[in-house]
A and B are shown apart, each in its own frame.
Chain A
Amino acid sequence: MTSQAVRLFRKMDGLFAVYKPQGVHWKHVRDSIESNLLKALNSCPPPAPQLAVQFQLLSGGENSSSKDVVLSPSMVPTLADHPLVTGPQFHKVHVGVGHRLDAFSSGVLVLGVGKGNGVLEHLCKSHVTRDYTLEGEFGKATDNFTHTGRVIEKTTYDHVTLDKLERVLAMIQGANQKALIMYSQVDLHTQEAYELAVRGLLYPHGKSPPILTGLRCIHFNPPHFTLEVQCVNETQKYLRKLIHEVGLELRTSAVCSGVRRTRDGPFKVENALTRQHWTAGSIIQAIAHFSKATRKIRKSGMYKQTAGQLNSSAQVQEQTRSQTEQINQEHVELSSSTSDTVVDRETPFH
């Protein structure tokens, strides 16, 4: 006979996504989610207290004189089981964080609860990319590449046009494609490698620097512009530096005024929970919503582990790529890109 609290706790197992607001450290997000879950668990009624025999002085007895007080036994609940003495039923809920977001950025943050924490590890090792929207502003350069930092220099930007920006972006993309091919350790002169590249399944193996698999400009209104990026192995600071370098290439300077993650693997911004919904009920609903994606990630992760034991690298790559393809096919991608690519792609970016 499980109590209501235990039944609720067993539902808290899986992955879900949260929209982290800007200016908030990811640890605060994780802590407030954990305290909300604990609040819901501890508000469930506690288990019934144990009864103990106590001899109490009660007056009267059938065959004694009425004046005598007599000891008679009765079962009373022990105070040692009172909730004010035992404390809350649950002290800790394991809530883990996937790919972290620094305080300046906002966007989709994947969290795992309970057994989902194991799947988080597989997610981090799996071949998923992340989707960012970067807001930039021409005209100044600061020390930490953001618009709130200390200004180092100011420049003019009248000469910047969309055409020049697109050219610069294409050049950056070309460099990133070369890096991707190099770090994915395939020989591009083979048919197999060509097919992988066409399907968009090239992925860097082992340690690699941040690589952008997709980059385009979605909004241009000088001095403000917006870039959309798909990337792998990145940090948010690297993306801000990217904006700065775009400015340098255009012979002006640029700062980043916003980094927003819109997708992390199969977790998209439409299903991320906003601050009002960081309650136990909504979280359990979100876990149920993402259960299918979670199962796929877990399967692909377990597959990779067993494949690693097989000790055959080509086999591993082939198998993991087929798994990745399955996961990536779940995504509804963006409309076809406009920028140039070195490798001709049929499918849109991942």
Chain B
Amino acid sequence: MHVCQRCVSLLLSRPLSAAGQQSTRALHQRSHLILLQHSTRQSPVHRLSQGHSRETWRHFTDHQAASPDVYNKTDLAQKKVVPLNSDVHRISSQVSLSDSQSIDLDAAVRASPLQEISEEEAVQIQVPSALPPESSTLRPYVDKSETLSKLVQLGVNLWELEQRPNVGSMLVRLDFHADVAPRLLFLKDLGVEESKLGRLLTKNPFILTESLDNLEARVSYLKSKKFSKQSVAVMVTKAPYLLNFSVERLDNRLGFFQKQLGLSAEKTRDVVTRLPKLLCGSLEPIKENLKVCELEFGFRGNEMQHIVTTVPKVLIANKRKLTQIFDFIHNTMDVPHSLIAKFPQVLNAKFLRIRERHLFLEYLGRAQYQPSQPNYISLDRLVFLPDDVFCSEVALAALEDFERFQKTL
């Protein structure tokens, strides 16, 4: 109260001249109000903890019940929110109404926030929403929105999602109980682990807008193709977009793989379970890769089948990189087709790694890739051992020597 009086004395001492001073006056009134409210802020907290009080009083808070997607706290009806603007206008209008020569102190006293107002008046007060109507991030909405807070608690990366166009707005508009919860329960029934749900939703937020009937139809189609419940769960986890594709598309692709690769149904299921991305992407690059393997590389049918069942990634690998690796292995390292087909993992490795290790072995005189010869080094050991194990066991040299050799290439 001591502070208010000082403010009031300030107002008194200031001579009033023109209407141009109205803004400063309004500011003074505003600060006056804020000071009053700060000093009275201690009392509301105590009041609340003592139980309900039907007394209505003015208190400026962040809370508003206007927007529909706000986490509802309906029992907070005791707090009434007052917009500062209307008070200021009222006061400033009162002041301007009065004579420009003197301040009407009664006006300021009349609009005390502790003044009791009737219920009807309280209900009519318009509450401005503190949430910005548009924002480039989801940060201002996370604390207020039930959907967004629950998603964060699940582990969904909201920052990554808001970089994608329109996804942020879509998430803010979702209703947790109507849209999100049924689909989460559906995924849980499917067998998807809870720890993986966050990553799944980060990769594919559109699963929350797909209709439940469609999702169930696709799952039942996959089960009708004799995919076990567990394998369906694994497929959905590995390829989050799987259930967004229509039944016809899934059917088309499964048929293509079975026909083209000439594999049995069991093996096709196995390949698709390990790499469900095959069902999601387009078929043209896969057809090109198959043609390249057959015509350019010269693999026979059964060799191709073995390669695809061991390393399905060859079907979606980059054609240029695959050609580079095969060219090096077949022409420079002189490894025949049969041996490559026996160890197809080598087609999945990094080209630089294969090149450096092979040249090191050649420099040491240990580059022997024929199984019939002594000191034979199998291709998978060449490629998949970590550096220190490779140096000690395969090359029989020190790691520093390998690094020094790398700097001479």
Chain A contacts to B: CB under 8 angstroms:
19, 21-24, 52, 55, 57, 61, 63-64, 68-73, 78-80, 82, 84-88, 106, 260, 269-270, 272, 274-276
A78–B142 Cα distance when bound, in Å, is 9
Residues of B within 8 A of A71 (CB): 48-49, 75-76
Residue B152, interface by CB 8 Å? yes
Residue B138, interface by CB 8 Å? yes
Residues of A within 8 A of B143 (CB): 52, 78-80
Proximity bits, B347-387, A CB within 8 Å = 1, else 0: 00001100010000000000000000000000000000001
A332 shortest CB reach to chain B, Å: 17
Pair B407/A269 contact, Cβ less than 8 Å: yes
* Given A22-B409, A84-B159, residue A275 in contact with residue B352 (CB < 8 A): yes
A260–B407 Cα distance when bound, in Å, is 9
- The residue that A73 contacts in the complex, of B45, B149, B351, B408, with Cβ under 8 A, is B45
Chain B residue nearest to A72 (CB atoms) is B49
* Given A85-B159, A86-B139, residue A55 in contact with residue B49 (CB < 8 A): no
Secondary structure class of chain A's binding surface, majority of residues: mixed
A239–B163 Cα distance when bound, in Å, is 46
Chain A residue nearest to B153 (CB atoms) is A79
A270–B156 Cα distance when bound, in Å, is 46
Residues of A within 8 A of B76 (CB): 55, 71
Proximity bits, B82-111, A CB within 8 Å = 1, else 0: 000000000000000000000000000000
8 Å CB contacts to A: which residues of B323-359? 351-352, 356
Residues of B within 8 A of A82 (CB): 142, 152
Residue B166, interface by CB 8 Å? no
Q: Could you list 15 further interchain pairs (A-B, Cβ under 8 angstroms) beyond the known A19-B406, A70-B48, A80-B140?
A: A21-B352, A52-B143, A55-B73, A57-B73, A63-B50, A70-B51, A79-B143, A80-B139, A80-B143, A82-B142, A84-B152, A84-B159, A85-B158, A272-B407, A274-B403
8 Å CB contacts to A: which residues of B132-187? 138-140, 142-143, 148-149, 152, 155-160
A19–B409 Cα distance when bound, in Å, is 10
Residues of B within 8 A of A87 (CB): 159-160
Q: List 10 A-B contacts (CB under 8 A).
A: A21-B352, A22-B409, A23-B352, A55-B73, A57-B73, A71-B49, A84-B152, A85-B152, A87-B160, A260-B408
8 Å CB contacts to A: which residues of B20-53? 45, 48-51
Chain B residue nearest to A258 (CB atoms) is B409
Residues of B within 8 A of A272 (CB): 407
The 5 closest A-B pairs by CB, nearest first: A87-B159, A80-B139, A79-B142, A85-B158, A274-B406
- Among the interface residues A57, A63, A275, which one has the most CB atoms of the partner chain B within 10 A? A275
Chain B residue nearest to A276 (CB atoms) is B387
Pair B49/A84 contact, Cβ less than 8 Å: no
A150–B148 Cα distance when bound, in Å, is 60
A206 shortest CB reach to chain B, Å: 34
Pair A84/B48 contact, Cβ less than 8 Å: no
A78–B141 Cα distance when bound, in Å, is 11
